[in-house]
């Protein structure tokens, strides 16, 4: 049935997503809710089916995207919970954004004025989340007079409703939590000052990311909502966090099939540049994926894949659409054998973290960069239920 995916596909286990959402909820305060961070198409996993699954959970407050287009796509696919855009939103889309009830992060006065003008014009309120910089030096107002003045302005302008206030930790994934705790304290002081000035509470205060959800020392930072990103996908924020603190299941695996198996010729090279030279009898198999699929060229001569539950090292350079592996030690290997590039096969497993390390990339980056050319196939109870393809942003049901 699924032969169309034989060249290669990203398998997304929606049961694992659900497990991870529930596992995170277990760790947070009963007064706190989850904001699921599904930016960059859910870190390459496919945002729509994941959001559709989470939409039904009462303890999920809403979703966070990076851009207006991501947020709008979720709305078009039936997502009704709140959606927050974490980054800067450019003015061209304010009208549509307000109509779709999508919340922008705000940290500039000109943004506020333009939002207010547009909201009044279309006769609808815009709910904003004020972004505060407590130590990233990225976006956000400083938690002092500057921030208070922006909040005062937001409170005064017609058409604007201050729904939330948030900040982001720079170092919550490190073993030493001092820096994150200092950011948290600065944020709390600022929020208290702002609320005193407004004479009312700001309903949705949030700062915790995945690392702060997992790590007991940062449990005090959960506030009204936590923003769950990498752990939603069963991946780790870093090597330094306590991997025993939470039971996460990896959501993604990357699979392909061998399309050719042959004896190497002694004296020949393998792939461009002949960086691997054949000096002994070996069996070579070709995998029909490459860096055009986001499988990095830096894995040339150093990565490996799993075939029949055994490791097969990559030999020669990874090409755009193909690469070769040494299958000499794998008995019975033949064309059409399944190849696991990320995931488990028997007792062996290749994790995104390990591939990230081998290729000189960060696990977050590795997931985001898996190419559009690879269909995402979504599974429930071991059955494929939907897939996305390269040329349409819409989900095909199976």
Ligand X SMILES: *Cc1c(COP(=O)(O)O)cnc(C)c1O
Q: Which is nearer to ligand X, 172 or 299 (CB)?
A: 172
CA nearest neighbour of 282 among 236, 330, 351, 241: 330
Helical residues (DSSP H) of 63-124, grouped into ranges: 68-76, 94-99, 109-122
Q: Which is nearer to ligand X, 39 or 72 (CB)?
A: 39
CB of 272 to ligand X, least distance (A): 35
CA angle, corner 299, sides to 273 and 362, nearest 5?
140
Catalytic residue selected from 124, 156, 260, 272: 272
For 20, 29, 52, 250, 269, the CA distances from 17, given in Å and listed in that order, are 5, 20, 11, 8, 43
Is 39 known to be catalytic? yes
CB of 260 to ligand X, least distance (A): 39
Q: Enumerate residues 6+ apart whose C-beta is below 8 A from 164.
A: 84, 103, 127, 128, 129, 130, 202, 203, 204, 205, 206, 225
Q: Enumerate residues 6+ apart whose C-beta is below 8 A from 88.
A: 105, 107, 108, 111, 139
CB of 210 to ligand X, least distance (A): 3
Q: Which is nearer to ligand X, 157 or 342 (CB)?
A: 342
CB of 216 to ligand X, least distance (A): 17
Read off the tokens for 78.
Answer: 């039936």
Question: Exposure string (b/e) for 81-103, b if CB count within 10 Å is 16 or more?
Answer: bbbbbbbebeeebbeebbeeebb
CA nearest neighbour of 174 among 133, 224, 215, 136: 215
Q: Which is nearer to ligand X, 32 or 210 (CB)?
A: 210
CB of 171 to ligand X, least distance (A): 11
Q: Which is nearer to ligand X, 173 or 326 (CB)?
A: 173
Catalytic residue selected from 39, 72, 127, 177: 39
CB of 28 to ligand X, least distance (A): 13
Q: Which is nearer to ligand X, 37 or 93 (CB)?
A: 37
Measure the CA–CA gap between 160 and 178, rounded to whole angstroms: 35
φ/ψ region of 199 (left if φ > 0, alpha if ψ in -120 to 50, else beta) reads left
Measure the CA–CA gap between 389 and 57, rounded to whole angstroms: 27
Phi/psi for 164 (5° steps) reads -145, 165
- Which residues are at the interface with ligand X (CB under 6 A)? 37, 86, 168, 209-210, 227-230, 237
Is 272 known to be catalytic? yes
SS3 for 353? Answer: helix
Active site residues: 39, 272
């Amino acid at each position: 049935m699924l032969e169309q995916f034989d060249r290669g596909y990203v398998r997304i286990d929606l049961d694992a997503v659900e497990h991870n959402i529930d596992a995170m909820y277990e760790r947070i305060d009963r007064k706190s809710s989850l904001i699921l961070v599904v930016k960059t198409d859910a870190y390459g996993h496919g945002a729509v089916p994941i959001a559709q699954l989470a939409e039904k959970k009462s303890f999920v407050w809403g979703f966070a995207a990076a851009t207006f287009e991501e947020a709008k796509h979720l709305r078009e696919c039936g997502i009704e919970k709140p959606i927050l855009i974490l980054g800067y939103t450019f003015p061209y889309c304010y009208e549509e954004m307000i109509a779709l009830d999508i919340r922008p992060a705000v940290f500039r006065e000109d943004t506020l004025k333009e939002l207010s003008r547009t909201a009044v014009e279309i006769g609808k309120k815009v709910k904003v989340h004020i972004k505060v910089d407590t130590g990233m030096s990225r976006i956000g107002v400083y938690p002092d007079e500057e921030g208070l003045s922006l909040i005062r302005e937001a409170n005064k302008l017609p058409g604007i409703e201050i729904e939330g206030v948030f900040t982001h930790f720079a170092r919550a994934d490190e073993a030493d939590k001092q820096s994150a705790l200092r950011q948290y304290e600065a944020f709390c002081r600022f929020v208290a000052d702002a609320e005193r000035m407004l004479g009312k509470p700001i309903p949705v205060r949030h700062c915790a990311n995945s690392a702060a959800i997992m790590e007991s020392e940062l449990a005090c930072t959960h506030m009204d909502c936590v923003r769950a990103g990498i752990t939603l996908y069963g991946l780790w924020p870093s090597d330094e966090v306590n991997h025993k603190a939470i039971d996460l299941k990896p959501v993604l695996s990357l699979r392909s099939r061998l399309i050719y198996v042959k004896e190497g010729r002694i004296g020949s090279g393998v792939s461009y540049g002949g960086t691997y030279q054949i000096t002994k009898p070996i069996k070579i198999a070709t995998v029909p994926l490459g860096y055009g699929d986001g499988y990095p060229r830096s894995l040339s001569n150093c990565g490996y894949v799993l075939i029949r539950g055994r490791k097969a090292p990559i030999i020669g350079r990874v090409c755009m659409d193909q690469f070769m592996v040494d299958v000499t030690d794998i008995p019975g290997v033949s064309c059409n054998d399944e190849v696991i590039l990320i995931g488990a096969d028997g007792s062996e497993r290749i994790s995104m973290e390990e591939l990230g390390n081998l290729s000189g990339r960060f696990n977050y980056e590795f997931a985001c960069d898996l190419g559009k050319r690879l269909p995402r196939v979504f599974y429930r109870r071991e059955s494929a239920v939907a897939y996305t393809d390269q040329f349409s942003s819409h989900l095909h049901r199976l």
